[in-house]
Structures are given as C-alpha cells and as structure tokens.
Amino acid sequence: MGLHPKNLSRSLEDAGTMFNCLIPWSSAGVFYIGALGVWPADFWIWEIPCYLSIGLAIFYGFTGISIAKLGPNDKRYLNHKQQMNGKKL
C-alpha cells in the first residue's frame, strides 16, 4: 500500500490509549474506579477528546490527510530489513 509504519503507531495510539479510560477493566478504568471513585460510565462526558481523536483518525484515513507515504529511501530500508529477516518480497 506504500504507507509508512508510523501510521500504524498513530492508529494504535488513537484507538488504544485514548479510548482505554472508558473500559472498566483496563488499567486506566481501574485507576478511575480505585483512586478517584468514579465509574468510567460516569466519566464519559469528560472524554470528549477521546471521541474526537478516534473520529479524526477515521476522517484522516478516508481523506488521506496527514497519512505518511513511504519515500524511496524508506522502501530501500524496508527491503533491506526484510532481506535480513529472510523474507522475500
């Protein structure tokens, strides 16, 4: 597809880290319940940036805005890395 691997990193951060606090059995959800005494379902109104982050990630994916493409040097590096791991292209 010609996309840079940093897109995957950003997508995982958008979906995992930002939305993690709304899941009661996650580390952030357990912290909210234990330390703050707030159930994650009661905390949803303060998580507007989390919703926006996921929505913007989907928007960027469909429009291609700020999606990094592989340049010629990146492709050579990835080809070399795959050859070092014994994989064929």
Please tell me the predicted confidence (pLDDT) of residue 70: 78
**Mean predicted confidence (pLDDT) in 50-64:** 84
Q: Can you give the pLDDT at residue 80?
A: 67
2-56 confidence digits (pLDDT tens): 777 788 888 887 777 777 877 888 888 888 889 988 887 787 788 888 888 888 8
Question: Whole-prediction pTM value?
Answer: 0.59
d(CA 1, CA 59): 18
Task: Name the more confident of 82 and 60.
Answer: 60
